[in-house]
Amino acid sequence: MTAVFDGHNDALTCADHELLVDGRPGGHLDLPRMRTGGIRGGIFSVFVASVGRKHSRPAPVEHLVAAARAAAVAGRLLALERAAAVRVARTVADLDGAFGGDGPPVGVLHLEGAEPIDRGLEALDFWYAAGLRSLGPVWSRSNAFGHGVPFLSPSSPDTGPGLTDAGRALVRRCAELGILVDVSHLNEAGFWDLAGLDLGPIVASHSGVHALSAASRNLTDPQLDAIGASGGLVGIVFACSFLRPDFADDPDTPLSLIASHARYVADRIGVSHVALGSDFDGTTIPAPLGDAAGTPRLLEVLREVGGFDDRELSLIAWENWRRVLGAWWRD
């Protein structure tokens, strides 16, 4: 079975560590389903939801509230490590051990939105010591560091100003420590601000192609070109509303649409910049996939519909993620 690294899941926000170990009813991802699907590693997101406003315009979250909630969620991944069910990936050697070994899968600790970090960045070193190796400065809302792209369809991702001064300081410090910076929820101005700093490969962990589905969360052709030029990647998201040209949040969505987005990115900037970024437990995914256990079915569709051969599937499934994580982590 092909080993898979998945670039984004929200399972930690949905279930405690015991359910993730033993299996849980519903949802998309737990350790038994990872094993069945050949997922040997993934980025585990820590996310603090907004309260109050509509999803298209989420309300801000205060730093102290986010810090408390995020610490509890992150603790679930560390509990999985204590139980020897997951290894928290801190180095490329950890990734390589999971790829080639029979031990537990690896989980990369990720902050989806930097609200748990204070403006002075004192908490960032603490989070790094706890295992943080990936960070999105914003979710789809504004915070002290920048402006997230709201969920609008159809819409350009050009929805407001970019990184703040604190945001620029944050991403520079991430680069110094060795924390990957994820642009998936940044608006277009923030994307170009980060690109101009030239800190590392530009990575969108769970996004789609704007030319195929003109949702604000998807990447335009110039953004794809910049990702390719930087040596970065796009983790193709499985979210039905970002895959479909009609934006319908409908599970009756064919897996061929994931293959179409992957093929578009590969044709435009090269297969070395295509990966997987499911957003399991954070979105509606195609019913033919089902959950993490269905990942081999997706790989077969990538082969048959996307036209990717064995070598290219190895890049998409694992090697491209290993390359960009290694570039940011600078082991």
Tens-place pLDDT, residues 244-259: 999 999 999 999 999 9
CATH of the domain at 302: 3.20.20.140
Return the axis-axis angle of helices 221-230 and 256-269, rounded to nearest 10°: 60
Give the pLDDT score at 53. Answer: 54
The domain tally of the chain equals 1
pLDDT for residue 331 is more than 70: no
DSSP string, 222-291: HHHHHHHHHT-EEEE---HHHHSTT----S---THHHHHHHHHHHHHH-GGGEEE---BTSS---TTT-S
What is the overall mean pLDDT for the chain? 96
In this predicted structure, the answer to whether residue 141 has a pLDDT above a threshold of 90 is yes
Q: What is the pLDDT of residue 330?
A: 81
Strands 146-147 and 142-143: antiparallel
Q: What is the pLDDT of residue 144?
A: 97
79-130 pLDDT, tens digit each: 999 999 999 999 999 999 999 878 999 999 999 999 999 999 999 999 999 9
Distance CA 331, CA 328 (A): 9
Which residue range forms the structural domain that includes residue 54? 4-329
**Lowest-pLDDT range of 41-45, 50-54, 119-123, 185-189:** 50-54
The yes-or-no verdict on residue 316 having pLDDT over 70 is yes
- In tens, the pLDDT along 175-218 reads 999 999 999 999 999 999 999 999 999 999 999 999 999 999 99
Summarize pLDDT for 214-233 with one digit per residue, the tens. Answer: 999 999 999 999 999 999 99
Instruction: Report pLDDT digits (tens) over 258-295.
Output: 999 999 999 999 999 999 999 999 999 999 999 999 99
What per-residue confidence (pLDDT) applies to 51? 81
**Cβ neighbours around 296 below 10 Å, total:** 14
Q: What does the chain come to in residues?
A: 331
Reported as a single tens digit per residue, the pLDDT across 56-84 is: 678 889 999 999 999 999 999 999 999 99
Asked if pLDDT for residue 1 goes beyond 90, the answer is no
Mean pLDDT within 132-160: 96
Q: What is the dihedral of CA 100, 134, 23, 87, to 10 degrees?
A: 40
